[in-house]
């Protein structure tokens, strides 16, 4: 498939895989693709940061390679590792049949087939000019800051140096989406290499459109009721306001029950899909009592 | 494209004046980005600029207003949540700035031995110091190394005992042609817990804020992960400012960032702002949180109590530092303190150098109550 030629074209392709991107997000993704720069996406939980990477992969018909960050993540888990048991097995087998060319044997031991590619190397290897891979570096703020420096090196030129094999260079830089929940400040050096995009909660019309797209079977009135309720919940000063992901879940739960609209009773029964703190639920139900969501 | 270049560079300069560090590298990225787009379309200029020149939500607001001012067109944005822009000439309270060299105070010349002078100073109330004593205290505070207690991490390193390091063992075997050689081991590493300091800078705490912020600066120097916030009429994050090496420069930078020295406080509200914006996301999780305040809360204290319970559930340990706790006849009688005590692991004094040193010792203990 050809790569998109304009942000609008990319937006319509994302639309084709049920991800509705606005002007800003489409421009961001388009530039990430064109300039070969990682896209650094921040925003509240559940606004569609991870979904963006998935949708980009689908829209470009590219493989999605995901690196979930966590504390203690290191190069052996993110880049590559040697498959030691297989190497040992190979060595034993070679001994058994009596191979005595030690140098060749050693060379064989560090062959590509004994290398286990982890997400970063996978992305470098899988990305071609016709079909760049999409690499999702999820929740980079959870990794320790030493890891960032390492990531910076790989994202800088998309080459991986393996002492025993040599340098592996990406034929074409993969599209990289880096997400962060802002649990800590990410180094400026990493941000400087990236395009920065802040994803906000959607407005009402957009939320309706997204839910309708995700749950095609849901009643029209139900969808707009849920979107309106979610918009209101976000203004209610809750401990954890629902994101777009939660309102989709909520609408799905209500649609499963066969609801055609949102009333107090239905809301009380399904609120757990959208609001996940006891204190918040109590507040919401108290507020619904005197006036309802709409 | 080339005709647009002076405008782009001019705008970047405007943006820098608005406080966004849009350096040449970012501007270069902007020009490159615009090359892929339509430079005659305002939306394209706007989005490519926003994507390349900004690096945090705070900078987006400055970008939006600078863009509107420079290019005249209203940016293609729907209304964002209101962002409070604060432009305040900040006057640091005069007695908070350590002026004067040691020796120019009238009472210092009388003291001859430095060691004993430090010993006397150690127990002096921070609110009752002369400028010279203050400078001396500042030096001693800078020598503190506050840090949280150790916590085990997922990271491992080679060790003489502990679990078997299969990778390293097999690698060693491969080198010896597959012969079982020495077994290698590895063990979990540990790292200090994050320290989070919330310093009350309201009027009633003004005399102690300088000492506490110096303590915070020492903690920042010790560990990069340390986070510091001030609580006044609003919550301000000053971790970035305090990460400088020089204490005086860091404090001046911090005081420039804090718009509300010696104002009133609404502790409950500020705690809520901290928890909503930072704490819940991860900064307070598993951390040792130090709240330095006298607990003077006007009006209803139920919000303060509720937020402290939230904090207690997130943090590893909550330490409350009250400058009055070490004084004679102190009892936690104020409504605010009574409300927070059930959620506090340990209440300590923080009105002298001595008590702050004790605090530093206490923070690195696994269980502060012990």
Read off the pLDDT of residues A111-135 as tens digits, 9 standing for 90 and up: 889 999 999 999 999 998 888 899 9
- The answer to whether B43 faces chain A, any CB pair under 8 Å, is yes
Residue B269: closest C-alpha in chain A: A237
Q: With CB atoms and an 8 Å threshold, state whether B178 touches A191.
A: no
Interface test with A, best of B28, B34, B47 (most A CBs within 10 A): B47
Tens of pLDDT, residue by residue over A31-58, are 999 998 999 999 888 899 999 999 999 9
Which tens digits make up the pLDDT trace of B239-275?
888 888 788 888 888 888 887 777 777 889 899 999 9
The minimum CA-CA distance between B122 and chain A, rounded to whole Å, is 35
Q: Which of B139-153, B162-176, B178-192, B213-227 has the highest mean pLDDT?
A: B213-227
Task: Find the CB nearest A27 among B48, B224, B240.
Answer: B48
pLDDT of B110 > 50? The answer is no
Looking at beta carbons, which residues of chain B come within 8 Å of A88?
A: 170, 173-174, 178
pLDDT greater than 50 at residue B82: no
The minimal CB distance from B153 to the residues A72, A198, A203 is found for: A72
Q: Do the beta carbons of residue A201 and residue A240 sit within 8 Å?
A: no
Of the residues B20, B174, B310, the best mutation for testing chain A's interface (the one with the most A CB atoms within 10 Å of its CB) is: B174
Whether B280 and chain A come into contact, CB under 8 Å, resolves to yes
Contact flag A183-B33 (C-beta cutoff 8 Å): no
A30 and B56 within 8 Å at the Cβ level: the answer is no
Average pLDDT over residues B154-176: 84
Among B50, B80, B170, select the one facing A84 at the smallest CB separation: B170
Q: Is B47 on the interface with A (CB under 8 A)?
A: yes
Cα-Cα-Cα-Cα torsion A67, A69, A73, A75, nearest 10 degrees, comes to 30
Choose among B26, B156, B166: nearest Cβ to A84: B166
Query: How far apart are the CA of A21 and the nearest CA of chain B, in angstroms?
Result: 14
Average pLDDT, rounded, for chain A: 89
Interatomic CA distance for residues B286 and B289, integer angstroms = 9
pLDDT band with cut points at 50, 70 and 90 for residue B73: low
Residue B1 has a pLDDT of 53
State both tokens at A251: 């609408």
Taking the C-alpha atoms of residue A3 and residue A173, their distance in angstroms, rounded to an integer, is 13
Predicted confidence (pLDDT) at residue A187 exceeds the cutoff of 90:
no
Contact of A113 with chain B, judged by CB distance below 8 Å, is answered with no
What 8-state DSSP symbol labels residue B276?
Answer: I
C-alpha to C-alpha distance for A270 and A39, rounded to whole angstroms:
36
Chain B positions touching A184 (Cβ under 8 A) are 225, 282-283
CATH 3.40.50.300 fits A7-75+119-199, yes or no: yes
Q: How far is CA B69 from the centre of its chain?
A: 33
Structure tokens of A31? Answer: 């530039």
Task: Measure CA A31 to chain center.
Answer: 18
Contact B48 A91 (CB under 8 A): no
For B179-232, what is each residue's pLDDT tens digit?
777 889 998 888 889 999 999 988 888 888 889 999 999 999 888 889 999 998
| pLDDT of res. B108 | 41
| Full strand arrangement of the beta sheet holding B235-237 | B235-237, B227-231, B195-200, B288-292, B317-322, B346-349
**Residues near B152 by Cβ (< 8 Å), separated by ≥ 6?**
B188, B189, B190
* pLDDT score for B107: 45
Answer whether A204 touches B (CB < 8 Å): no
**pLDDT value at residue B75:** 54
Chain-chain contact of B282 with A184 (C-beta, under 8 angstroms): yes
pLDDT at B152: 83
Structural domain boundaries of chain B?
A: 2-71, 152-191, 195-363
| pLDDT of the residue at B74 | 53
pLDDT (mean) for B44-66: 88
Interface membership of B78 toward A (CB under 8 Å): yes
Q: Strand, helix or coil at A68?
A: strand
What number is the average pLDDT over the span B52-76? 81
pLDDT at position B112, please? 47
Closest Cα of chain B to A188: distance in Å?
A: 8
Q: What is the mean pLDDT of residues B261-290?
A: 86
Mean pLDDT score, B155-180: 83
Distances (CA, A) of A138 to A54, A118, A149: 12, 15, 16
Q: Do A72 and B155 touch (CB under 8 A)?
A: yes
ipTM surpassing 0.90 = no
Chain A to chain B Cβ contacts (< 8 Å) = 103
Q: Measure B88 CA to nearest chain A CA, in Å.
A: 25
B143: pLDDT confidence band, cut at 50, 70 and 90?
A: confident
A235 touching B, CB under 8 A? no
Contacts of B80 in chain A (CB under 8 A): 200
Q: Is the pLDDT of residue B103 over 90?
A: no
In the numeric block, the tokens 């006057």 are attached to B91
Look at B47 and A27 and tell me if their CB atoms are within 8 Å: yes
The H or E element spanning position A269 is helix A264-270
- Residue B349 near residue B133 (C-beta atoms within 8 A): no
Q: Which residues contact B43 (CB under 8 A, 6 or more apart)?
A: A23, A27, B76
Cβ–Cβ below 8 Å for B29 and A37: yes
Task: Evaluate whether A20 touches A206 at the Cβ level (below 8 Å).
Answer: yes
Chain A: closest CA distance from residue B227 (Å):
9
Q: Could you tell me what percentage of chain B is helix, strand and coil, using 3-state DSSP and rounding each to the nearest 5?
A: 50, 15, 40
Cβ neighbours for B180, distance < 8 A, ≥ 6 positions apart: B173
Q: Taking residues A199-210, what's their average pLDDT? A: 93
Instruction: Look over chain B and give the mean of its residue pLDDT values, rounded to a whole number.
Output: 81
Each residue's pLDDT tens digit, A231-273: 999 998 888 889 999 999 999 999 999 999 888 889 989 999 9
Topology, domain B195-363: Rossmann fold (3.40.50)
Shortest Cα–Cα distance, B174 to chain A (Å): 7
What pLDDT is stored for residue A44 in this prediction? Answer: 86
Percentage of chain B beyond pLDDT 90 is 17
Instruction: Check A34 against B36: CB less than 8 A apart.
Output: yes
DSSP element (H, E) containing B306: helix B302-314
Could you say which residues from 236 to 255 on chain A have a Cβ atom under 8 Å away from some Cβ of chain B? 239-240
Residues 6+ apart with CB under 8 A from B210: B96, B98, B126, B134, B251
Identify the residue with better confidence: A205 or B234. Answer: A205
In this predicted structure, the answer to whether residue A275 has a pLDDT above a threshold of 60 is: yes
What was the pLDDT predicted at B333?
76
Residues in chain A with CB shorter than 8 Å from the CB of B243 are: none
Q: What angle do CA B279, B51, A152 make, to 5 degrees?
A: 70
What span, in angstroms and rounded, lies between the C-alpha atoms of A260 and B334? Answer: 53
Confidence label for A156 from pLDDT (cuts 50, 70 and 90)? confident
Look at A184 and B155 and tell me if their CB atoms are within 8 Å: no
In the predicted structure, residue B94 carries a pLDDT above the cut 90: no
- A68 pLDDT band (50/70/90 cuts)? very high
Q: Looking at the complex, does the CB of residue B273 fall below 8 Å from at least one CB of chain A?
A: no
């Amino acid at each position: 498939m050809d790569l998109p030629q304009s942000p609008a074209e990319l937006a319509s392709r994302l639309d084709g895989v049920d991800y509705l991107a606005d002007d800003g997000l489409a421009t961001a993704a388009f530039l990430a693709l064109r300039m070969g720069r990682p896209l650094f996406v921040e925003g509240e939980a559940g606004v569609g940061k991870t979904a963006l990477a998935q949708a980009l992969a689908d829209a470009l018909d590219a493989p999605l390679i995901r690196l979930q960050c966590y504390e203690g993540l290191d190069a052996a888990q993110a880049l590559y590792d040697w498959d030691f048991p297989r190497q040992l097995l190979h060595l034993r087998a070679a001994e058994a049949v009596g191979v005595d060319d030690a140098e060749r044997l050693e060379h064989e031991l560090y062959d590509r087939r004994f290398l286990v590619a982890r997400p970063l190397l996978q992305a470098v290897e899988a990305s071609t000019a016709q079909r760049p891979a999409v690499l999702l570096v999820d929740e980079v703020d959870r990794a320790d800051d030493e890891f960032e420096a390492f990531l910076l090196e790989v994202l800088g030129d998309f080459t991986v140096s393996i002492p025993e094999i040599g340098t592996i260079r990406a034929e074409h830089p993969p599209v990289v989406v880096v997400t962060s929940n802002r649990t800590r400040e990410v180094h400026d050096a990493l941000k400087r290499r990236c395009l920065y995009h802040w994803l906000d909660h959607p407005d009402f019309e957009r939320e309706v459109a997204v839910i309708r797209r995700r749950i095609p079977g849901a009643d029209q009135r139900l969808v707009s009721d849920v979107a309106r309720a979610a918009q209101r919940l976000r203004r209610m000063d809750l401990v954890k306001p629902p994101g777009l992901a939660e309102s989709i879940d909520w609408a799905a739960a209500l649609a499963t029950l066969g609801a055609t609209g949102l009333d107090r009773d239905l809301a009380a029964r399904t609120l757990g899909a959208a609001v996940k703190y006891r204190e918040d639920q109590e507040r919401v139900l108290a507020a619904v009592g005197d006036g309802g969501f709409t | 494209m080339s005709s647009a270049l002076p405008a782009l560079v001019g705008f970047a300069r405007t943006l820098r004046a608005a406080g966004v560090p849009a350096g040449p590298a970012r501007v270069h990225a902007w020009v490159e980005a615009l090359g892929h787009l339509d430079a005659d379309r305002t939306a394209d200029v706007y989005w490519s600029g926003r994507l390349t020149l900004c690096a945090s939500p705070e900078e987006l607001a400055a970008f939006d207003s600078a863009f509107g001012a420079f290019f005249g067109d209203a940016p293609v944005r729907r209304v964002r949540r209101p962002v409070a822009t604060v432009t305040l000439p900040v006057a640091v309270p005069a007695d908070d700035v350590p002026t004067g060299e040691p020796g120019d105070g009238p009472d210092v010349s009388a003291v001859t031995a430095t060691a004993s002078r430090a010993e006397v100073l150690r127990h002096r109330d921070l609110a009752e110091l002369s400028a010279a004593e203050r400078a001396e205290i500042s030096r001693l505070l800078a020598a503190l190394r506050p840090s949280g207690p150790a916590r085990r991490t997922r990271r491992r390193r080679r060790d003489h005992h502990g679990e078997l390091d299969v990778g390293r063992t097999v690698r060693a075997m491969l080198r010896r042609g597959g012969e079982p050689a020495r077994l290698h081991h590895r063990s979990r590493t540990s790292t200090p817990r994050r320290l989070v300091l919330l310093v009350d800078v309201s009027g009633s705490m003004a005399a102690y804020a300088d000492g506490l912020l110096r303590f915070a600066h020492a903690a920042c120097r010790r560990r990069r992960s340390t986070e510091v916030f001030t609580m006044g009429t609003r919550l301000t994050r000053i971790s970035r400012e305090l990460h400088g090496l020089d204490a005086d420069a860091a404090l001046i930078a911090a005081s420039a960032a804090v718009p509300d020295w010696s104002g009133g406080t609404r502790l409950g509200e500020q705690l809520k702002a901290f928890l909503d914006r930072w704490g819940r996301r991860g900064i307070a999780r598993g951390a040792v949180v130090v709240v330095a305040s006298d607990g003077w809360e006007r009006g209803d204290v139920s919000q303060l109590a509720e937020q402290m319970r939230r904090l207690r559930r997130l943090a590893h340990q909550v330490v409350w530092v009250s400058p009055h706790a070490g004084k004679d006849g102190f009892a936690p009688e104020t409504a605010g303190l009574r409300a927070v005590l059930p959620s506090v692991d340990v209440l300590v004094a923080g009105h002298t150098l001595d008590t702050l040193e004790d605090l530093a010792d206490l923070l690195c203990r696994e269980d502060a109550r012990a």
